[in-house]
Amino acid sequence: MNTTPLRLKNILTAFDDFEGNEILNNRDFQDYQSVYIDLYQELRPKSADGKEDINDDIIFELELIKQIEVNIDYILMLVEKYHETNCQDKSILTAIDKAVNSSIELRSKKELIQSFVERVNVSKSVEGDWQRFVKERKENDLAALITEENLKADETRRFIDMAFRDGILKTTGTDIDKILPPVSRFGSSADGQTSSRTGIKQVIIAKLMIFFEKYLGLI
């Protein structure tokens, strides 16, 4: 088994002498994590039935990344520092980008974070502005998704609220079926209707999952 920087760091952090003698500085280590996640997402193997086939080594590496992940509070701290420089210190933007790319959880929120950084100039409360921004964008994105996919509005909002409450988007069972468009949208013939319904349902689930992961942990 090869000893990667993640594994080596995990071993060495148990020793007091390791502090101050790290293998890589924080930015270089984030670059390493970012490349690893890129490769994982690009090359993760599939089994014969199309499901992900992830071996124990890959799972272990991903768990190590999660242990040292940055969180949104750290990102907001960087945003606040950026504003303290009157948005002049572009190195802080680089730091934000590197931190987001090195995080499995924050990657799905990258567009949201970038949009917030671009629109906020002078701010008395970065955290407060962030919460209002997220709430507004979440509502707009959900409304657009409902309109785009002709979903049942009230049922969809209840479904999403429960997903955030439970921390999981349930893609099986009857709850997901209750939000789908009327049957007439799925075709005219019985066979075609079933096929179309299944295909469109999968598209809707994929879009809901992207929405859910984007706002999970922020609401």
List, in sequence order, every beta strand (DSSP E) within 57-214.
Answer: none
* pLDDT over 70, % of the chain: 61
Closest among 92, 134, 132, 98 to 113, alpha carbons compared: 134
69-73, 156-160, 201-205: lowest mean pLDDT where? 69-73
Mean pLDDT for the stretch of residues 113-129: 83
State what percent of residues in the chain have pLDDT above 90: 36
pLDDT in tens, 131-140: 999 999 999 9
* Per-residue pLDDT tens digits for 158-189: 999 999 999 999 998 889 999 998 765 545 44
Q: 19-23, 119-123, 162-166 — which is least confidently predicted?
A: 19-23
Average pLDDT, the chain: 76
The residue type at 186? F
| List of residues 6+ apart from 193 with CB closer than 8 A | 183, 186, 187
Q: How far is CA 72 from the centre of its chain?
A: 11
Could you give the CA distance from residue 218 to residue 134 in angstroms, rounded to a whole number?
7
Q: CA-CA distance, 83 to 117, in Å (whole number)? A: 9
Say which amino acid occupies 85. T
Question: Residue 102: its pLDDT value, please?
Answer: 81
pLDDT at 140: 97
0.75 surpassed by pTM: no
Using CB atoms within 10 A of its CB, is residue 209 exposed (0-12), middle (13-18) or buried (19+)?
Answer: middle
Q: Which residues touch 3 (CB under 8 Å, ≥6 apart)?
A: none
